[in-house]
Each structure stands twice: as structure tokens, then as C-alpha cells.
Amino acid sequence: RPVVTRPETQAIDMNSRPNTLAERDIVASEQTIGFLGLGMMGSTIVKDLIYTGHKVVVWNRTIDKCQPFAEAGADVKDTPMDVVEAADVIFCCVSDPKGAKDLVFGNCGVLQLKDLRNKAYVEMSTIDPDTSMDIGEGIKQCNGRYLEAQIHGSRQEAAEGMLIILAGGDRSVFEECHSCFKTIAKNTFFLGTDVGNACKVNLILQTILGVSLVGLAEALALADRFSISLNDIIDIFDLTSMKSPLLLAKGKEMAKGDFNPQQPLSHMQRDLRLVLNMAENLDQSMPVTSITNEVFKHTKRLGYSEHDSSAVFVRSRF
Ligand code: NA7
């Protein structure tokens, strides 16, 4: 089994700005924005919200990650509950459904506040529809308003302010988030008031991505076995009607063995797992997605959880 080194965690550059911001003409909302979760996505988003003039209150489980934001003017709180108390609209952006639920239902979580009148909660963590409905129900029972706003895109697209927001739930919250969404996304879709729809759309898009990556990895691995230059394959692929910016970029990463995490492999596998659970409940057959999930799971076991999803190529070469 190869020794796998973890990818370096890149420190957030508080001074970098997406070029897109200048032309978007953003007038910051006067509401106080709460933000739970300062991972790679959350940090990038909060940095830009501060830059576009939003008043921000933050919390992160690992407190050290809050320091640069405190220096940039954000108010740092000790618990999610404290953030909710201080903010009007609260965004959450953590790793998975379990983390998202912990922050709402757990000790010192959002619902500990009991009365969420005049508060809006926006879930950005990638979650399944059932988790979103549970969270939405919990928030509503405390008189709060809920919006799921799934973010589609890589860390690079977040850094460029080029995410796509897929939202569903309370329309008034969606409208109140206008200046925040305009800061971080190139497109924003409201997919209806039914909570869960936006999660479904996001996971369906992730299915296309996961299956495509495994197909690309296997094809390149076969080329490698024939000692055909991967760069040649990619150059030719670029001339075909099959090309897409993403597959070209991922193919180049596979050829170089550069798996700098734009979309971590563990997140990709989480998404496939959520897709298969959804399909299971519907008796929907997804054989290719099932195998794709197994391929990502195995690559995780080989030590590539924190690398980019394109590291699935390593497994295909065995
Ligand atoms: P990262 O960079 O892996 O960051 C994950 C964040 O989630 C980070 O702030 C974690 O806190 C936090 N986290 C994870 N589990 C928990 C629990 N149980 N409780 C509290 N906080 C938690 O991921 P990204 O920023 O790239 O992605 C975040 C989401 O955006 C993800 O759903 C993507 O699909 C979209 P930590 O710093 O480790 O203490």
C-alpha cells in the first residue's frame, strides 16, 4: 500500500478578491449575518462577505480558524447559539448532514435559543432532503424561517465568486440573502418552497460529476497501461465534442498526479452515499452510481480522502 501524504492545507488569503466582485455592484444588506463553519468554503465566503460590507458574526468548532476573521472585523462567538442570538440571517456551512444537524439540535446549538422569531436560517452544507426537512421543521417549530441554499461548485469557483446557489424553502429569506448570494455566486436559483428540492438537484448534479470522473479515470488508466501519453489523450479530447472545462481540468490533474483538493474526495463519496440512500427509498436502480460509490470508497481507504476527487485515478491505475 503506497504511503500517501496529506495535501497541504492552504491558509486562507484574506486579501485575495474575486475579480467578479467589482462588476457586480453589491449593496450589502443591513442585516447582521451569522456564519457557522469556517472550513475552506465557509472561510472563502465570509472573507468576501466582509469585503462587500456585510456585518458578520462567526463561529467555528476549531476556534483558531476564527482569528483572521476577528482581525478583519468579524465578531467571533463561543457557540452556534450565540451567533444566532446576535444575527438576523444565519448561514451554516459544515462538512456533512451529521455536522449540520449537530449545530441545530446539539448542545449549544441553534434550537437552544427556543424563540427564533425574526431569525432566518440558511443551510449551505451539502445535505440530503430528509436532513434538510428535519432542520427546516426544527427551525419552524421555534418560529424561525428556513432556506436550504446548496452551493454547487469547487473551492476554486468559490474563490472566484462563481458558485451556483440552489435554494428552496422560504422565499422571503431567499430575497433577504440577495446581496450575500450576489457576492459569492454567478447564478442563483429558487427551486420552490418545498424544502428538499434544492438538495435533490444538488445531489443529482453530483451524481453526474462522480460518474464522469470515474469514467475519465478508468479511460486514462487504460491509456497509461498502453504507455500512451496522457497529455496526448487530453489534447485530443479537447478537440472532441465530449470535452467539458471540468473534465479537461480533471484530466490534466490526473495526468500530473496533482490532486490539490478543489472538491475533496471524501465530499464526493459522501454525496454518492446520500444519492444512493435517496434512490434506495424510491426503489430506483442506480447500478453505475453504486459502482462509482464503491470506487470512491476504495480510494478513500487508500488514504485519499482529503485529496481532490480526481485522485480516483490512483485507484484506477492499480
Ligand atoms: P472543510 O474545509 O472540510 O471544512 C469543514 C467545516 O465543517 C469546518 O469548519 C469543520 O470544523 C466543520 N465541521 C465538520 N463537522 C462538524 C461538526 N460535527 N460540528 C461542527 N463543525 C463541524 O469543508 P468545505 O469548507 O470545503 O465544505 C463545507 C461544505 O460546503 C460541505 O458540505 C461542502 O459540500 C459544501 P473544524 O474547522 O474542523 O473544527
- pLDDT tens, residue by residue, 97-141: 999 999 999 999 999 999 999 999 999 999 999 999 999 999 999
Residue 40 CB neighbour total at 10 angstroms: 18
Which protein residue's CA is at the shortest distance from atom 13 of ligand 1?
A: 94
Question: Does 37 contact ligand 1 (Cβ within 6 A)?
Answer: yes
Rounded mean pLDDT, 36-58:
97
For residue 199 and ligand 1, the question of a CB distance below 6 A is answered with: no
Ligand 1 centroid to residue 39 C-alpha, Å: 5
| 4 pLDDT higher than 90 | no
Q: What is the pLDDT of residues 185-237, one digit of tens each?
A: 999 999 999 999 999 999 999 999 999 999 999 999 999 999 999 999 999 99
Cα–ligand 1 centroid distance for 36 (angstroms)? 9
Residue 141 Cα distances to 105, 118, 242, angstroms: 12, 13, 48
Q: Is 39 in the pocket of ligand 1 (CB under 6 A)?
A: yes
CB 75 within 8 A of CB 58: yes
Closest ligand 1 atom to residue 98 Cα is: 18
62 Cα–ligand 1 center, Å: 10
With a 6 Å cutoff on the Cβ, whether 9 touches ligand 1 is no
* Residue whose CB lies within 8 A of the most ligand 1 atoms, among 41, 95, 124, 202, for a mutation test: 95
- Which residue among 94, 101, 205 is best mutated to probe the pocket of ligand 1, counting the most ligand atoms within 8 A of its Cβ? 94
Query: How far away, in angstroms, is 171 Cα from ligand 1 center?
Result: 26
62 lines ligand 1 (CB under 6 A): yes
- Per the CB < 8 A criterion, the answer to whether 51 and 17 are in contact is yes
Ligand 1 binding pocket includes 129 (Cβ within 6 Å):
no
> pLDDT band at residue 273, thresholds of 50, 70 and 90?
very high
pTM of the full structure: 0.96
pLDDT single digits (tens) 248-265: 999 999 999 999 999 999
What residue's CA is closest to ligand 1, atom 21?
61
CA of 224 to the centre of ligand 1 (A): 35
- ipTM of this complex prediction, to 2 decimal places: 0.99
pLDDT value of residue 1: 59
Look at residue 75 in the predicted model and tell me its pLDDT: 98
Distance 17 CA to ligand 1 centre (A): 22
Please name the residue whose Cα sits nearest to atom 7 of ligand 1: 94
